[in-house]
Every structure is written in structure tokens, then in C-alpha cells.
Structure 1
Amino acid sequence: MIDIDNEKMEDMLNLLEKLVNMDSGSYFKQGIDEIGAVLSKEYESIGFDVHVHPHEERGNNLVIRHPDAIDPKVMIVAHMDTVFQRGTAEKRPFKIKGNYAYGPGVVDMKASLVSVLFAMKSLVERQDDAYKNVEIVLNSDEEIGSRHSRSLIEQIGKDKEYALIMEAAGKDGSIVTQRKGGARYKIKVEGVPAHSGSEHEKGRSAIEEIAYKTIKLHKITDYKKGITVNVGLLKGGTSANTIAPIAEAEVDVRITKLEQIKEVEQKMKEICSEPNIKGTKIKLAGQLNRPPMVKTKKSIELIGLVQDIGNEMGIEIKESFRGGCSDGSFTSSMGIATVDGLGPKGGNGHRDDEYLDISSLPERTALLAETISRLTHMHRTTQFKEKQK
């Protein structure tokens, strides 16, 4: 097992402070690229190659591997973006209070970025060449659905056997073994404008129509099946004294099984096929953007390995199911053995009081490094046995 001494711990916290104090909201390309530049320099200092995959609008994505790596079978996925607006870091910078660290993105997931780097450093320092069996993807748009980085993740994952996803662990240190899938839709309604005082009867309100649709869409939710539908954003109208000529709604759908999306989409189409307010026109568009992350035989074996390592470290690692999505959905749907929630533990992600349990930073770094080492040894043993047949 690797050991994180006081000097390394100080280095980890110094880097974490630097990253947290750099704004890197999903739409702030400059900030994300600055995060990428800092991490690139760190990886290059320990002999790794960093390949930049540029994007004009969003932050650049990074793919990192050692130059001696030949057909690595383990991929690590972590994201550099946060949900916070530019200027947040200046308003509430990194701070430590007792056993906890605070700041925008401290646990989701800048602590994980530190953890991955120091796991690689530890493997290099102890001359465990398992670091040659790893390819790391640091993406820039996970918080907005990985719309630009998904193809890169899937490209890197084509020849991988294991995917280690670095979202934060639960408050109790639990890893994530299942997640809901997510879909996004937009509804646009065209109404008929009219003066709300003198010609009210001539108007056809797009807002009224979309209100009917909102109520019907919410009734698709079925907690027993694990299906939820939420109209989370609404906008419409042009003025208070005008019958609304336009209205839009953005809809979030979550499912637990891939086949459920057909059922949900069919119901949505039926709801939007006929207006409640005659004279209005309705358009529905959208699709599934993250499939569910489900347990497979391969992932169960990987989960068991992580738990065994945890037991050896004196840590009980529980499993958890989360309704939120992550990039683990992509690797899981490709048939790659996937485990998520391998980052340090903390809580209140996406909130002003987001925190990191500092004691978990070295602990999860050691867990990650040992998992990579064991997976590499297992793979090589399997290859050797196959050659002997």
C-alpha cells in the first residue's frame, strides 16, 4: 500500500488550493484551460505525455498517458469543470476549517484531480509500472452533459477493460455502482398574441398551453419504476398585457433502465401531439444524453476488488445508487467494467457550503493507486496463463 506522508499531504493541499482558487465553470473556457495547463505541467514533471484536444468554445480536453504505455487497459475519467460562475473563487476562496476544506468545486471534483495525480506519482515513486497501464481523460464539460467530450471518452474506452470514474465518494465513503440515465427535451409553443385588455378573446396563450403540458408531463413520473420527469425551466411571453405568443420549457428525464426511455418518449409525444388551447402549435425535441450506469458481471468483480482493497486498508466501502448522471454511464454502456465515486469524500456539491473531508484525500489516493496496481497484475497474470495454453 502507498503511504502519504506529511510532506506529500502538504503538497496535495497546496495544489488543491491552487485549483479551487481558479474559476473553471463549464462555460468559462479560459479558466478550464488554465486548470489544464497546471495539471499538464504536473504530469509532464513525472514523465507523462499530455495530449491536448482543443475546443473553440468549451475548455480543452486532456488525454494523459506514459510514453512507455502499450495498450493500457485501465482508463480514469475526471472532469475539470465546475457549476460555479466566474468570480466565485474570489468571493469565497479555498479555506480549511478543522478537518474540512471548503471552496467552489473542492470535492466536485478538484480534490479528485489532485488524487489522480498523486496516485500516479506514488506508483512512479515506488517503481510500480502499473502507471504504464493507465490512460487518463480529463474533460471540460461533464457538468453540462459531456456533449463535446463524450466522443473522446468513447474513443479512449474502445480497448479498455476497466473504467475508474473519479466523482466524489459519498459522505460515508461509498462508491457508486449504479446511476440513472438522463435525457433532456425542449418544448416550444407558439400562441396567438392579442391585447390582454381590449382583445383578450382573440389571443391564444402559449404560456397557458405549456402550463397544461407541464402538469401532464409531471404525471409521467413513476417512483416505483425509477422514472422521473421534471420541467425545470420555463420562459415565455413578451409583456404582462399581451397574450403570450411564445413559451418554452426545458424538461429533465431520469430512468433506471435503458428501455424505459421509449416508454417515456412515447408518452411525451402523445401529450404534445394535441394542444389543450386550440390555435397553439407545439414542438418537442430532445433525446437521451446519458444511458443508465448498470451493474454487469465484470463491474461486480471490479467492485469486489475495490472493496477487498478497502478492507485491507481498514475501510468499509459500501455501494450506492445515485440519481445523478456521470461519465461512468458512457463507459458502462460500452461494456467496460466501471466503478464510480472513487474520489475523496465530502458533501454539499454544487452549493456554497460544498466541503471536502481532508482525511479522505490520502486515503482515496492510496485506494486508487492500489486498485490500478492490482488490476494491472491481474491482467498480466491472465495474459500469461493464456499464452501458456
Structure 2
Amino acid sequence: MSQEHQPICTQETQELIAKLRACPAVEKGLAQAEEQHQQRINEQVQLTEVPAPPFHEEERAKVFAQLLADAGIPDVHQDQIGNVIGRLKGIGNGPTLVIGAHIDTVFKEGTPIKVSQEGTKYFAPGISDDAAGLASLLQVARSITQQGIKTVGDIVFVGTLGEEGNGDLRGCKALFKVKNDYDGMLAIDSANVHRILRGSVGCKRYRIIFESLGGHSLHKFGIVGSSIHGLARAITKVDDLQVPTEPKCTFNFGVVKGGTSVNAIAARAEAELDIRSVDQPSLDAFVKRVLKAIQEACDEENNRWNLEGENAVRLIIKQIGDRPAGANKDDASVIQAAYGTLQSLSIPLEKYTLAATDQNVPLFYGLPATTLGAGGIEANNHSLSEWWEAEDAFQGPQVAFLTALTLVGVNGVTEPLLEKQPR
């Protein structure tokens, strides 16, 4: 863990969690997560084998909606964009907590997905990211509803769309953009229960396009500009920039394509650019420097060959992603609840860090939010060789269950730790 940032859980919060643990229904809910461990695995396998490629998550969303309703969550429905939403109401006048996991995967349409098993290890694209989160969320719902736990605040269970890649958090953005009463969020993403996210890495993504007339590599040499040459100059110019290290910024050209033939001047070339920082002002400032360098590269390419008018290379920049940065205070309610829960369950905290998940969105709106692990062990995420180890995976829903109850409170047992936002 970073020495600069350490999670805080006050004595008052520890005592609040101890009161919850003394409640028989809460203890039974924790035990239920272990008792229904195999059901959780079965649902995870079921969801994994339902395709959810980028921008086409409809089939899995329908299956998840039915499973969420079966778990006892009332009025499960899909919003305009397709997020699956169900609200478990509290006794009234309490805060509203969103707890969610994302439905989509990174795998393109038509990818064969069939889960195989070796002992307690399961293999399939997307078996962990984020089918494990969805299955953990379902178990949290069952542990609350089947134990008859009545909360003070409301809990909104959500399966979000478009968390991955160029989905650009579109589901969570739509969720928080409309008028709502949400006061905070817990996302369930990644298997690791030993990790709490204190904040979000911001990310802006662009498609950098160079265009020209193109032409024969001999006859039009030096007369018509090459889009590939212009793009190569832009990548080199960005690569030579001095990159801020405090706060840390990064860049990456992750996809490059263009041209038609070895003996043809390229009429089009493009690259997808990812720029990140843990600090929003630093991210915005570095983006300006990068885009300025790319424009300068285009001008330099044309000046190099004295190209003008239709013979020049032209630059088009399209933004294809915008994930805002944000951070909690180390004593924020969600951090205290999550850290206190780990302590109460004797689960060591090994990582207190930042990442990009659905939590980016509520943090952007100034709401407390963090991401919890779904349980188990994962490897090779976003690859065809992805696998998930189920041993002790019940700890994931246990952590999310107790953290959520700490935040919204249990009627007659505890008051909510989550603050209601002024509206």
C-alpha cells in the first residue's frame, strides 16, 4: 500500500460494524454466502456463457434481470440505455446506495465461450471480468432478502452496460446523468477481496486520423502527402514529450492501421490513443500538450514536402473515450465501511490503490464510491485464456454484503454511515 495514503476506519465505525455483526440476521446473511457458494458459481458460469460483446449486451442483460428478480429484488427493469436496475427500499429517509457490476465483456461478437472446469478452477473468456461481479451481486441480494433484513436506506442493484474499452462507462454515465437520489456507490469488479480502490484513474481516448489523396509510390512521391508518414511523425513527436510524473500521466498508441499496398502512398492512417492520469487537472493539461504536438506533426509533415491544398495531409481528431478521474478522502464513508468490513472478517488489505471502473462516474459527481472484489482468484483477464479460481470466493459477497449494510444501516440495529447528499 502507498505510504502517502492509508485507509481510515474510526472507532465509531468499528463499533457500528460490531453492532451489525451482533445481529443474528446479519450473521446468517454472511453464513448464507458460504452456504450458497455453489449456487453463486453456477450463476457465474451461466452468465459467462451468455454472450455480452461490446455494445451488444442485450442477451446477458435479460438473463441477469431474471436472476436479480429471482433473488428477491422488486421491480427489476431496464432503463433507456439497457442497464438492469432493481431497488430494495429501506424504511425511508435514509441514503441511497448503488451497488453494481458490469454486464459487458471485451470479447467481440462470435467469440466461442464455453466454461471448462479443473477442480475449483474455471476457464472461459470473461469468467471473472465481470461475471464474477454479477454473481457476487446476486448473492448479496439473496443474503439480504432471504434473511428478511430491513435496511434504513435504499439499495439500488444495477448491472451496467459498456464498462469496458470503448464502451466508455456508458451505462454508469447514463445511470448518474438522469435525475436521481443516489448518495454513493459500490462497484464489484476484479476478483481480489484484498483490494480497496481509493480513487479512479482518469482516461481520455482519441482516434487520430491522417488523410490524403494517396497515389503511386513513385509517380506521386514528394507531390502527395502520405498519411502513414504523417501519423508516424505524430507518434514520434508525442513519444518525445516530457511526461509528468507527479501526478503521474501516461500515453499509449494502442491500435495503428492504414494503407493499402506497399507501393501506394497511404490515403488514410489512424491510431487509437489512450491518455491517463490520477488527477483530472493534470490529465486535461497533458491532453492539451499531446494534441498540440500531433497538430504540429501534421504541419511539419506538410512543410517537409512543401505540400499545400489537396496534396497535403489532413488531420482529424475524434474523441472516443472520456473517463473522469476522482478520489475519496481516506476517511470517506465508503472507505471506512469497506476497510472496517475487511478487518471484521479478518481479511487482510493488501492493495489500497486507484483504477478505472464504474466508480469513476460517481466520483466525478462528488459522491463517495469504491470498488470491491468479487472473490476468488483471477488471471489472464481480457484474454481467451482467462481463468477464475473459486476457492474461498464466498468472501467477495460477504464483503460487499457487510459493507453495504454498514453504509445504509439496518432498521433497529444501526444508523447509516453513508451521508445523504444535499439536493
Alignment of 1:237-252 (within 5 A): 237-252=259-274
Q: Equivalent pairs: percent with the same residue?
A: 21
- Specify the code of the residue in structure 2 equivalent to 1:41: Q
- Which SS does the other structure have where 2:222 is aligned? helix
Pair 1:69–1:79, CA change in 2 (3 A) = farther
- Which SS does the other structure have where 1:107 is aligned? coil
Q: Tell me how far 1:338 sits from its aligned partner.
A: 1.0
For 2:60, the equivalent position in structure 1 comes to: 35
- Which SS does the other structure have where 2:272 is aligned? strand
Q: Normalising to structure 1: TM-score of the pair?
A: 0.86
- Specify the code of the residue in structure 2 equivalent to 1:115: S
Q: Which moved more, 1:62-71 or 1:345-354?
A: 62-71
Q: Which moved more, 1:193-202 or 1:182-191?
A: 193-202
For 1:64, the equivalent position in structure 2 comes to: 86
User: Could you list the per-position Cα deviations for residues 120-175 of structure 1 after superposition, in whole angstroms to 9, with x for gaps in the alignment?
Assistant: 111112221139620122112111334542443214784323210111143x7322
Gaps of 5+ in 2: 1-26, 308-312
Match of residue 415, structure 2, among 374, 378, 381: 381
Aligned mates of 1:304, 1:5 — CA distance in 2: 22
Aligned mates of 1:315, 1:61 — CA distance in 2: 32
Assess if the C-alpha contact under 8 Å between 1:166 and 1:342 holds in 2. Answer: yes
Q: Tell me how far 1:353 sits from its aligned partner.
A: 2.6
Q: Tell me how far 1:64 sits from its aligned partner.
A: 1.1
User: Could you list the per-position Cα deviations for residues 57-91 of structure 1 after superposition, in whole angstroms to 9, with x for gaps in the alignment?
Assistant: xxx2111113667565111121111011234344x
- Kindly report structure 1 stretches of 4+ aligned residues shifted beyond 4 Å: 67-72
For 1:82, the equivalent position in structure 2 comes to: 105
For 1:296, the equivalent position in structure 2 comes to: 329
Alignment of 1:242-321 (within 5 A): 242-274=264-296, 275-278=299-302, 279=307, 280-286=313-319, 289-296=322-329, 299=332, 301-321=333-353
Gaps of 5+ in 1: none
For 1:331, the equivalent position in structure 2 comes to: 362
Match of residue 46, structure 2, among 10, 14, 18: 18
Aligned mates of 2:390, 2:277 — CA distance in 1: 34
Assess if the C-alpha contact under 8 Å between 2:256 and 2:269 holds in 1. Answer: yes
- Specify the code of the residue in structure 2 equivalent to 1:377: G
1:191 and 2:204 matched: no
Assess if the C-alpha contact under 8 Å between 1:72 and 1:132 holds in 2. Answer: yes
Q: Which moved more, 1:8-17 or 1:213-222?
A: 213-222
Q: Tell me how far 1:24 sits from its aligned partner.
A: 1.1
Aligned mates of 2:349, 2:359 — CA distance in 1: 18
Q: Tell me how far 1:242 sits from its aligned partner.
A: 1.7
Match of residue 186, structure 2, among 164, 171, 177: 164
Assess if the C-alpha contact under 8 Å between 1:309 and 1:371 holds in 2. Answer: yes
Pair 1:198–1:374, CA change in 2 (3 A) = closer
- Specify the code of the residue in structure 2 equivalent to 1:75: V
Match of residue 248, structure 2, among 226, 229, 241: 226
- Specify the code of the residue in structure 2 equivalent to 1:277: E
Alignment of 1:94-173 (within 5 A): 94-130=115-151, 133-143=154-164, 144-146=166-168, 148-155=170-177, 158-170=180-192, 173=194
Pair 1:130–1:353, CA change in 2 (3 A) = farther
Assess if the C-alpha contact under 8 Å between 1:328 and 1:339 holds in 2. Answer: yes
**Alignment RMSD:** 2.7
Pair 1:331–1:168, CA change in 2 (3 A) = same
- Specify the code of the residue in structure 1 equivalent to 2:120: N
Assess if the C-alpha contact under 8 Å between 2:97 and 2:155 holds in 1. Answer: yes
- Specify the code of the residue in structure 2 equivalent to 1:164: L
For 2:7, the equivalent position in structure 1 comes to: none
User: Could you list the per-position Cα deviations for residues 72-118 of structure 1 after superposition, in whole angstroms to 9, with x for gaps in the alignment?
Assistant: 5111121111011234344xx21232332221211111111111111
For 1:175, the equivalent position in structure 2 comes to: 196
Aligned mates of 1:120, 1:64 — CA distance in 2: 10
Aligned mates of 2:169, 2:239 — CA distance in 1: 26
Aligned mates of 2:366, 2:359 — CA distance in 1: 11
Number of residue pairs matched by the alignment: 372
Q: Normalising to structure 2: TM-score of the pair?
A: 0.80
For 2:22, the equivalent position in structure 1 comes to: none
Q: Tell me how far 1:203 sits from its aligned partner.
A: 2.6
Match of residue 341, structure 1, among 355, 368, 372: 372
- Specify the code of the residue in structure 2 equivalent to 1:48: P
- Which SS does the other structure have where 2:67 is aligned? helix
1:355 and 2:387 matched: yes
